[in-house]
Copies of this chain bind each other. A is one copy, B any other.
Amino acid sequence: MEKNRAVAALAALAQDSRLDVFRLLVQAGTDGLPAGQIAERLGVPGNTLSFHLNQLRHAGLVTFRREGRSLIYAAEYPAMNALLAYLTENCCQGDAAACGVGTCDNSSLVQDKLNI
């Protein structure tokens, strides 16, 4: 993952409403949720939500598809994983245990799996 994309993804997540949206979509799974339902659940005006969804979309963290009149948004899991990988990359000069990252090397795992 390039630095610019990482900064964009972090910036997209670094906002109250957008972090809520993203987590909601992560929980919703690959089926996603229509924009209106997201707006209702989070109590955010439609046009404001639209702005935030656009930010998340440009950051590559969500995608959408049309279904009738509804636009269904869904989390882009590979992008989330790439960001996690980027953040844990080079951690502790390879000695992950030294900084408590866990027993498995998330970064290389995800990179191998997804070819990012």
Interface residues of A (CB under 8 A from B): 3, 6-7, 10-11, 13-16, 19, 23, 26-27, 29-30, 75, 77-78, 80-81, 83-84, 87-88, 90-93, 98-104, 106, 109-110, 113-114
In the bound complex, residues from chain B placing their C-beta under 8 Å from that of A14 are 7, 10-11, 13-14
Q: Judging by beta carbons under 8 Å apart, are A77 and B102 in contact?
A: no
**In the complex, what residue of chain B is closest to A59 when comparing beta carbons?**
B14
Q: How many copies does the complex hold?
A: 2
Instruction: Using A10-B19, A19-B10 as known contacts, say yes or no to A102 and B109 having CB atoms under 8 A apart.
Output: yes
- Nearest-Cβ distance from residue A41 to partner chain B, whole angstroms: 15
Of A6, A11, A87, A113, most B-chain CB atoms within 10 Å: A87
> What separation, in Å, do the CA atoms of A64 and B7 have in the docked complex?
24
Q: Which residues of B contact A102 (CB under 8 A)?
A: 81, 104, 106, 109-110, 113
Given contacts A10-B14, A27-B90, contact A81 B101 (CB under 8 A): yes
How long is the Cα–Cα vector from A86 to B107 in the complex, in angstroms? 16
